[in-house]
Structure 1
Amino acid sequence: MKPLKESRRVAERFKRIHILKAAVCIAAFFFLSGAIAQSYKSAVGSRASYGGLLTYKHQLNAQYFAEGIVAIRWGGVEFTALIEKSQKAFHNENTFWYIGGGMHLGFHGRDNTINPPEAKNTTTYINLGADLIGGIEYCFPDFPINVSIDYKPSFHFTGDRWFVGEGIGLSVRYVLK
């Protein structure tokens, strides 16, 4: 039985290393390539994802944006802060790829383990971790709306579940300019 546990542990470590290597390679590609500025300074809206609720995005300079996300999950609330690099996509002035990373902090009524949502737990858990994000965004040229779809996996430093991969999201934002 002991060799089986050891082989599972080695397999998990192998998966983690390859996921992180892939993320670093993708990030390097985007960060080393040129970018074109998007057509807005700030936008606020809604994010439809597992636990997603609100999103705010602000342009830091011609290539970089800061994004904040508030999510309701695991019987609590989670705050995520991201830095994203943007680049024009498909030779279209209104479509952009973006990739980035950041951190999250959450307070939950149950642990981020693989418990069913109806599990009774009166303990409050603190969830701290790192996030990656990559997606595509379209800015409508004639009215102040932008739409994005992305993938935002999370890596937890606390709790029992080290990786949360259900981070596909659709955001619709009102452009504040």
Structure 2
Amino acid sequence: MKTFYRIFFALALVLSVGFSANAQSGYQTGIGFRGGVASGLTVKHFIKSDAAIEGILSTSFRHRGTVITVLYEKHAPAFNARGLQWYYGIGGHVGFHEGRHYYDHGHKHYHDNVVALGVDGVLGLEYYIRDIPFTIGADIKPYINIPSGGGFWDSALHVRYVF
């Protein structure tokens, strides 16, 4: 449990760095849920009008662990539709997994406990509903774990309350 609190504190610290920056034309900060292969909480904060930092605290039933991801994302209008934006970005993650649920494809065996470090990318589409201040969106997030190798894809839907 101490590990969870350390991860949560690190995420809060990273996300608080940009809170005095300029707001995006639609909203400045959003907090919500992400549902997909890895589900959890998501916080996005705009540090420039077209750039945001997103933090994701997720868990996966498949690997039975907790992962914290931080992404830097660039945003741009999509399809000339008001409130619709596409975004792409890069970042990293650190995860803690129960080994009996985490298979190492490179060494072809299960570990006792796994600390996974890696590099992430993201490509998504988000719609800001101004009347009820929420965003809904979908993204794909390819990632690779550095110590144990292997590349993976995570896709998800998300809903955020924005302010």
Aligned length: 133
Q: 1:156 to 1:141 in 2, by over 3 A?
A: same
Higher share in strand: 2
Q: Which secondary structure state, in structure 2, belongs to the residue aligned with residue 142 of structure 1?
A: coil
Query: 1:26-175, aligned counterparts within 5 Å?
Result: 37-73=24-60, 74-110=63-99, 111-113=102-104, 123-159=112-148, 161-165=149-153, 167-175=154-162
Amino acid at match of 1:113: D
Gaps of 5+ in 2: 1-23
Gaps of 5+ in 1: 1-36, 115-120
Amino acid at match of 1:96: Q
Q: 1:85 to 1:75 in 2, by over 3 A?
A: same
Q: Percent identity over the alignment?
A: 31
Q: TM-score, normalised by structure 2?
A: 0.77
Higher share in helix: 1
Contact 1:38 1:94 in 2 (8 A): no
Query: Could you say what the CA RMSD is over the residues aligned between the two structures, in angstroms?
Result: 1.7
Max radius of gyration: which structure? 1
Q: 1:94 to 1:79 in 2, by over 3 A?
A: same
Contact 1:64 1:83 in 2 (8 A): yes
Runs of 4+ in structure 1 displaced over 6 angstroms? none
Q: TM-score, normalised by structure 1?
A: 0.71
Aligned partner of 2:5 in structure 1 is none
